[in-house]
Amino acid sequence: MKANAGVDPITVAVIKGGLEQIVDEMDAIIVRAAFSSVISEQKDRASGIFHPVTGEMVAQGSYTLPVFMTAMQFSVQTVLQEAERRGGFRPGDVYIMNQPYLGGTHLPDVKLIAPAFSGGRMVALLAACGHWNDIGGSTPGGFAPGATEVFQEGIIINPVPLYREGRLEEDFLRLILDNVRMPDERRGDIEATISALRVGASRFDDLVKRYGAQAMLASFAELNDRSERHMRSLIESIPDRTYEFEDAVDNDGHVDAPLRIRLRLTVKGDRVSFDFSESSPPARGPLNVPMRTSVASCQIAMKHIFPEIPINGGCFRPFDYVIPSTTFLGAGHPHAISGYPETVGRIISVVFGALAQALPDRVPADNFGTTGIITFSGTHPTRGNYYVMLFPAAGGYGGSPQSDGLVNGPTALGAANYPSVESVEHRVPVRIERLAIRERSGGAGRHAGGCGTSYAYRILDGEVAAVVLGDRSRFAPFGILGGKPGLGADVIFHEGGESSRLPLVTKGRRILKAGDRLEYHSPGGGGYGDPRERDPELVLRDVTLGYIDAKAARTEYAVVVKAHAAPDGATAWRLDHNATAKLRASASQPAAQASA
């Protein structure tokens, strides 16, 4: 594949930097202007620039959520087709859509797409996505563990113009707002996104005037072709073979049976094929994912494994997919899909598990793999306003060839922030009583899995509808190369002096009253490598920090640490070198005898 003619490398580099600056500014505008906390504080949004003919992604923001950008290319391509059917784009047009079977993810992820014209010629498409706090449907917030079809999850918006040549379709917007909770907040989020698109279009026009439309389009092609060449070269370094791996989602929220994800990943030359045809059939509950969301999940996993490749549509060209509609990974309309983040997390896991067999020096152990969304909603008892608040969980990442796993990291598919404690307690009648590292939750390994996170919420006044939609309770994050699994998720309700769990642990809903508490404990990451190869000094550090206890140091790592009193009276720990050497020597004898 040859480089594109007519544009020099320096110009391409400058244009690339200009495009990235534009999308970063778009992201910043959405965050600063949005009304809902899930966008303004948790930064659950994305912006990008796309090719005007192919719809391929050309540039994305530095802090864009991975699943939004990988899936948004499908949304842009869908809107391109719809605009062509209507006679083409015109300056001032803005399309809106959230149709998950065409554009990926789920209904609360609303995308706005607008053309960028210069001199009467469409030179790019700009797109922005924000997660709405509510999209209507049976469950406030849109995460509906009881849903059995998409109609129960919210309003579906097929690609249609929201603005025609700069004129707002007010009646259509009113139809949308009449079907969601907190319509004023939704209008504010739309206007924030429109502002970002307008500023992005203005900045892009300045860039086109500086370099010309022809140079811009040639740079688009060169940037995507470079990423494709880079990805192909890395794939060629993987031994040709079919690598198999299997994991599972705990249940679908209705039937207490696992949903199996079976991957056959075939590397041949400079191409990779992802075959999920042996996975479980479509589920009754909302853990299904549309085919294009499964594709985006594979792309996220590959980008994690090869982070050096600039992300755009080109780096995903060497991939092929077999994801039949007879599986819950290729579910079509009207299967329920609001719990898609849980299944996306597991798809990323199985790609890691398959490629760890070929690239153990690149691929980490499994991360916590669940978004674990908790939604609180109700009418504020003193202010009288209706509220919806979403809480995505952080958790532990898997140990890697280079280091221990990240502690309290954001979900790999989204990277949305947890809201600040102060803003939560200002907005809703809930106190966050605990936000802490979940001790002893990371998997043991030469490089240990990161610890998960523990949360505790207390209801202060009135009644609060609490909805939980998560996973990873039964099937914990796996370790690799001898590493141990992390601890699975747990959800505990404390009501009226009694403690209990939901029948399916991480999926369900309850009405909580003043004084009730909800605890959520996210999983830790899997360990990488044999725990008995871990540096004893690091084990001592882990005990001192509370990541593990002295018993785990001995049983998992064959390291002996002893407590003693520090000068301030607190408990301190020291490493017993002699006892550790003897314990590790005795632990290695059976393996040595067997090999002899």
What's the confidence (pLDDT) of residue 552?
Answer: 96
Mean pLDDT to the nearest integer, 281-301? 97
Mean pLDDT to the nearest integer, 562-589? 89
What's the pLDDT tens digit per position in 446-455?
999 999 999 9
Q: Could you tell me if 477 and 369 are in contact, meaning their C-beta atoms sit under 8 angstroms apart?
A: yes
What's the confidence (pLDDT) of residue 61?
Answer: 83
Mean pLDDT to the nearest integer, 10-15? 96
Q: Considering the chain, what percentage of its residues have pLDDT values greater than 70?
A: 97
Report whether pLDDT(7) > 90: no
What is the distance between the alpha carbons of residues 218 and 123, in angstroms, rounded to a whole number? 11
What is the distance between the alpha carbons of residues 561 and 540, in angstroms, rounded to a whole number? 7
Question: Which of helix, strand or coil describes residue 23?
Answer: helix
Report whether pLDDT(594) > 50: no
Mean pLDDT to the nearest integer, 119-123? 94
| Farthest-apart Cα atoms in the chain, separation | 81
Report whether pLDDT(593) > 60: no
Report whether pLDDT(259) > 60: yes
Q: How many residues does the chain have?
A: 596
For 520, the enclosing helix (H) or strand (E) is strand 517-521
Mean pLDDT to the nearest integer, 42-53? 94
Q: Considering the chain, what percentage of its residues have pLDDT values greater than 90?
A: 91
What's the confidence (pLDDT) of residue 29?
Answer: 97
What's the confidence (pLDDT) of residue 112?
Answer: 98
The two beta strands, 271-275 and 319-322, are parallel
Mean pLDDT to the nearest integer, 477-493? 98
What is the distance between the alpha carbons of residues 89 and 57, in angstroms, rounded to a whole number? 18
pLDDT band at 192 (very low <50, low <70, confident <90, very high): very high
pLDDT band at 590 (very low <50, low <70, confident <90, very high): low
Mean pLDDT to the nearest integer, 154-180? 98
Q: Could you tell me if 125 and 78 are in contact, meaning their C-beta atoms sit under 8 angstroms apart?
A: no
Whose structure tokens read 């778009």? Answer: 26
What's the confidence (pLDDT) of residue 3?
Answer: 47
Mean pLDDT to the nearest integer, 415-438? 92
Measured in Å, how far apart are the chain's first and last C-alpha atoms?
A: 52
Report whether pLDDT(4) > 80: no
Mean pLDDT to the nearest integer, 526-533? 97
Report whether pLDDT(512) > 80: yes
pTM of the model: 0.95
What's the confidence (pLDDT) of residue 2?
Answer: 46
What is the distance between the alpha carbons of residues 510 and 468, in angstroms, rounded to a whole number? 9
What's the pLDDT tens digit per position in 160-169?
999 999 999 9
What's the confidence (pLDDT) of residue 67?
Answer: 87
What's the pLDDT tens digit per position in 337-381?
999 999 999 999 999 999 999 999 999 999 999 999 999 999 999
Report whether pLDDT(592) > 50: no
What's the confidence (pLDDT) of residue 414?
Answer: 78
Whose structure tokens read 């109609």? Answer: 151
Q: Could you tell me if 265 and 238 are in contact, meaning their C-beta atoms sit under 8 angstroms apart?
A: no
The mean pLDDT value of the chain amounts to 95
